[in-house]
C-alpha cells in the first residue's frame, strides 16, 4: 500500500509539473512570484482537504493561484479528475495484486476533498455501511465543479454502489450455499453412519434367522425320529404282551397236579 501511495504522489507531482493543456492552471509566473509564500493556515487547510497529496504539490498549486484557496481547490480537483485512467494504469503497473479486482479508484470516487479512496477491492468495500455511502455521495457533490461534473460523479458513485451491492449479494449467496452444502454433508455423514449400523443389524438378524431355521430343521428331524421310536416301542410292547400271554398259557397246560412223570423218580 505504501508503494501505491508513493507512486501516486510521484504521479501527482509529475502531473502538477506537466499538466494537460485543457486543464493547465493558467497563471503567469510573474503574477505568482509577486505574492509572498503561502501562509501556513492555507497550507493546513489544503492538507486537511487533500491529506493524501504531497505537500509540495499543494504548495505549488497555492502559489500558482496566488494564495487563492478556492482557485487552488478547484485546480487540485481538476488535477485529480483528469488522471483517473492514468492512475489506474499506474496502479496496475505496481503489481500489488490489484489486477482482476474492481477498484473504487478506477471509478473516480473520492473522499476528503476529491482525493481517491484508498485502493480497495470490493471485498474490502463490504465494510462500508449506509452512512459511509451517504458521506461519500455528499463529498462527491460538494467537490463537483459544475452540474456536468456532479452528474458524472453521481453516475460513477451509483455504478460503484451497484457493483458493491451485487458483489455483497453474490458473497451472501455463496456463503449461504456453502453453509447449506456443509449442512448437507453433515446430514449425509449421519445418514451414512446410520446406514452402516442398519446394515450390520440386518446382517446380524440374517445370521440369527439362519440359525433359527437350522434349529427348526433339526427339531423337526428329532420329532420325526421320536415318532418312529414311539411306534417301534408300541409294537415291541404289543409283541411282549403277546409273548407273555403265550408263556402263561404254556405254563398252565404243563403243570397238572397229582401226575408225575414216570421217568422221574
From first to last of its 265 residues, the chain has per-residue pLDDT tens of 443 334 444 444 444 444 443 433 343 333 333 444 444 577 777 787 777 777 788 888 878 888 777 778 877 777 765 444 444 444 344 334 333 333 443 344 444 334 344 334 334 444 566 778 888 888 888 888 888 888 888 888 888 888 888 888 998 999 999 999 999 999 999 999 999 999 999 999 999 999 999 999 999 999 999 999 999 999 999 999 999 998 988 888 876 555 555 554 4
Specify the pLDDT at position 72.
80
Assigned domain for 224 exists: no
Specify the pLDDT at position 195.
95
Assigned domain for 232 exists: no
Range of the domain at 78: 2-174
Query: Is 116 buried (19+), middle (13-18) or exposed (0-12) by CB count in 10 A?
Result: buried
Assigned domain for 211 exists: no
Query: Is 27 buried (19+), middle (13-18) or exposed (0-12) by CB count in 10 A?
Result: middle
**Can you list the positions of beta strands (E) in 68-125?**
110-111, 115-116
C-alpha cell at 150: 456532479
- Return the CA Rg of the chain: 55
Q: Which 3 state secondary structure label does DSSP give 144?
A: coil
- Alpha carbon distance 191, 179 (integer Å): 18
Specify the pLDDT at position 233.
94
Specify the pLDDT at position 252.
84
Assigned domain for 54 exists: yes
What is the number of domains present in the chain? 1
Specify the pLDDT at position 262.
52
Q: Residues 6 or more apart from 153 whose CB is under 8 A from it?
A: 108, 109, 140, 141, 143, 144
- b/e map of 216-238 (b: 16 or more CB within 10 Å)? eeeeeeeeeeeeeeeeeeeeeee
Assigned domain for 98 exists: yes
Assigned domain for 68 exists: yes
Assigned domain for 250 exists: no
β partners of residue 111: 115
Assigned domain for 35 exists: yes
Amino acid at each position: 500500500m505504501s508503494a501505491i501511495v508513493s507512486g501516486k504522489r510521484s504521479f501527482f507531482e509529475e502531473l502538477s509539473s506537466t499538466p494537460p493543456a485543457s486543464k493547465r492552471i493558467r497563471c503567469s509566473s510573474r503574477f505568482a512570484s509577486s505574492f509572498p509564500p503561502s501562509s501556513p493556515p492555507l497550507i493546513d487547510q489544503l492538507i486537511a482537504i487533500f491529506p493524501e497529496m504531497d505537500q509540495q504539490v499543494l504548495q505549488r498549486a497555492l502559489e500558482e493561484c496566488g494564495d487563492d484557496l478556492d482557485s487552488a481547490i478547484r485546480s487540485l480537483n481538476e488535477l485529480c479528475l483528469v488522471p483517473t485512467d492514468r492512475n489506474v494504469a499506474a496502479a496496475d503497473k505496481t503489481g500489488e495484486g490489484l489486477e482482476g479486482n474492481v477498484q473504487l479508484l478506477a471509478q473516480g470516487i473520492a473522499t476528503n476533498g476529491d482525493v481517491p479512496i484508498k485502493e480497495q477491492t470490493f471485498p474490502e468495500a463490504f465494510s462500508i455501511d449506509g452512512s459511509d455511502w451517504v458521506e461519500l455521495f455528499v463529498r462527491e457533490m460538494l467537490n463537483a465543479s459544475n452540474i456536468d461534473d456532479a452528474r458524472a460523479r453521481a453516475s460513477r458513485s451509483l455504478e460503484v454502489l451497484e457493483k458493491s451491492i451485487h458483489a455483497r449479494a453474490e458473497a451472501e449467496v455463496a456463503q449461504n450455499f456453502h453453509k447449506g452444502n456443509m449442512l448437507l454433508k453433515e446430514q449425509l455423514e449421519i445418514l451414512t453412519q446410520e446406514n452402516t449400523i442398519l446394515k450390520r443389524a440386518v446382517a446380524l438378524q440374517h445370521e440369527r434367522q439362519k440359525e433359527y431355521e437350522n434349529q427348526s430343521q433339526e427339531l423337526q428331524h428329532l420329532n420325526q425320529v421320536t415318532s418312529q421310536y414311539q411306534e417301534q416301542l408300541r409294537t415291541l410292547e404289543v409283541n411282549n404282551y403277546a409273548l407273555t400271554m403265550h408263556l402263561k398259557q404254556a405254563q398252565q397246560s404243563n403243570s397238572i397236579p397229582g401226575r408225575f412223570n414216570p421217568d422221574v423218580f
